Amino acid sequence: MKLLIVDDEVIIRQGLSTVIKWEENGFTLLEPAASAEEALLRIPEEKPDIILTDIRMTGMSGIEMAGKVKPTCPDIEIIILSGYEEFSYAQQAIREGINDYLLKNSRPGDIMAAVLRAQKRIEEKRAAKRQGEEHQNAFRFKQLERMLRSEQAVSEQEAEELLRLHPELRIATDWESLELWIVSADVPLPAIPEAGQALVEAGRLLKEALACVILDAEEGWLLIFRSGQTGAIRTMRLAMERAEQVLGFRLFAAAGLPARDILRLRESLRTAEQAAAYRYLLGESGMIRYEDVKERRGMRTVCSLEEEEALTAVLRSGDKAKLDRWIADMLGAIRRDPDATPPTMTAYLHSCMVASLRWLERAAASVGRTTQGLPKPESFEMNELALRPGEVLGRMLSAVMSEYELLSGGRNAAIETAVAYIREHLDQTLSLAQLAAQAHMNPNYFSELFKKETGKNYIEFVTEARMEWAVRLLRETPAKVSEIAKRVGYEDIKHFNKLFKRHTGETPSSFRDK
């Protein structure tokens, strides 16, 4: 906080500036003023938080100065420091809004105590003001969000109230309109806690560049702002680039139809949501407008017999790289289709998944087996399939390929890969989800397949592998038991000892002694 000392006696100014350790107590000491007139000239520019002033000075008194400061700067705390003890001065000081009254012969500790009290009052006022502003903003945004999401009719009076709360959305000329954009990223913005401060700064940059209202959405933000005849593409792109630099990752923006007034923003939101669904199909540019996709008619929703045969040939090969290429080529063709829409794309992909399962079921039936452990297409949300089709298809079709290898009597390459990964990372945390991801499988299916292939569940297998490694280390190295425990992945020495004894029948120390 900034402190200004005002006194016409140089010895007093110097004494107050040097005797008391202002900086050590968190205050920035401004250059002292030699008169009330000088202080009044400097206050608007230097903006002190606290003024420590004499009463009687050449020219204007400290109380007169306070009477001029308080009407325009009511939040400044003023402390009178006087050599006079007359009660009339204290009374007049109170009338002028002065916050504390001390004698010049007060000890430095008393002066600092008064200044600290002033600091506390300032902080309490600022906290109350921030809280009030937050409540007011929350109310403003809630009213606008309620209007956007509600299906109830909005009266002209209610619309005018919204414009009073959000004057930046009031259209001033015939050539202006309101733009509504949905801004998101590959990961929902609220789910990135480590980017908290960066998100605040990115939001500030967007608000500053667009003079927009920002509302929280499920996966990101809703931006609403006024735009002229030339539209908002260039301005929006520049604002997005600045926000991306702060965040360190790419953003995606989708715009609905422009609105001629605040009531038509509902249609803007509906069409912006439709445009936002194209993030996978058209998201490479980072920006999509509803007007660019509204004429799309949709692609085929069912894979052909030839496509089904090509897919099953890849699955039969057991070649994971070939499957990845097939998925990439198929998705590339979809993205190049000028009529593809998110609903028709997901329907087509769903048909491919169903076709692969039908083929696997026929293969299983031919050898008297079933495929109940596989994930079903309906277990994947359509929204997930629309946003991350490569990932969803990869998991599903890799599981089908692995199951077919089991049916055909071959060794399961995915489980072999997982076993190799376990043996290479025994000193690290090994979760089921982590191992399933390495094998590109659903965790539940991976767990069942792993036990079928190895005869043990993954926890038993990992524990046994770690104990075998610990046995070798105890036999072949002089390392301490505690060091060996950490090397094989256990921070808790007691837990390691318990598992080792269960595995060998002896404690690590007894085993080494023998």
**Dihedral sign, Cα of residue 91, residue 93, residue 99, residue 103:** negative
229 confidence band (pLDDT: 50, 70, 90): low
CATH code, residues 156-290: 3.30.70.270
- In degrees and rounded to multiples of 5, residue 41 shows phi and psi of -70, -35
d(CA 18, CA 121): 25
pLDDT in tens, 109-125: 999 999 999 999 999 98
Q: In which element (H, E) is residue 391 found?
A: helix 389-407
Whole-number pLDDT of residue 87: 47
What percent of the chain has a predicted confidence (pLDDT) above 90?
23
Return the pLDDT at 369. Answer: 67
Evaluated on CA atoms 434, 436, 437, 439, the torsion sign reads: positive
On the question of pLDDT at 373 being above 80, the answer is no
Distance, CA of 290 to CA of 268 (rounded, Å): 9
Residue 9: φ, ψ to 5°: -100, 120
Query: How many angstroms separate the CA atoms of 50 and 46, rounded?
Result: 11
Residues carrying CATH 3.40.50.2300, the chain: 2-125
Task: Say whether pLDDT at 331 is over 90.
Answer: yes
> 3-class DSSP state for residue 277?
coil
Distance CA 122, CA 157 (A): 39
Q: How far is CA 192 from the centre of its chain?
A: 3
- Under DSSP, the state recorded for 25 is G
Task: Pick one of 3.40.50.2300, 3.65.10.10, 3.40.1280.10, 3.30.565.10 as the CATH number of 2-125.
Answer: 3.40.50.2300
More confident residue, 436 or 344: 344
The candidate with the shortest Cα–Cα distance to 470, out of 450, 493, 447, is 493
* Prediction pTM value: 0.55
Query: For residue 28, is pLDDT > 60?
Result: yes
Residues contacting residue 132 through CB under 8 Å, at least 6 positions apart: none
Range(s) for CATH 3.30.70.270 in the chain?
156-290
Fold of 413-513: Arc Repressor Mutant, subunit A (1.10.10)
| Helical pair 305-317 and 320-336, crossing angle rounded to 10 deg | 150
Instruction: Select the more confidently predicted residue: 357 or 438.
Output: 357
Measured distance CA(276)–CA(290) in Å, rounded: 8
Mean pLDDT in residue range 436-442: 79
Question: Where does CATH 1.10.10.60 sit in the chain?
Answer: 413-513
Residue 413 clears pLDDT 70, i.e. is over it: no
Residue 52: strand pairing partners: 5, 79
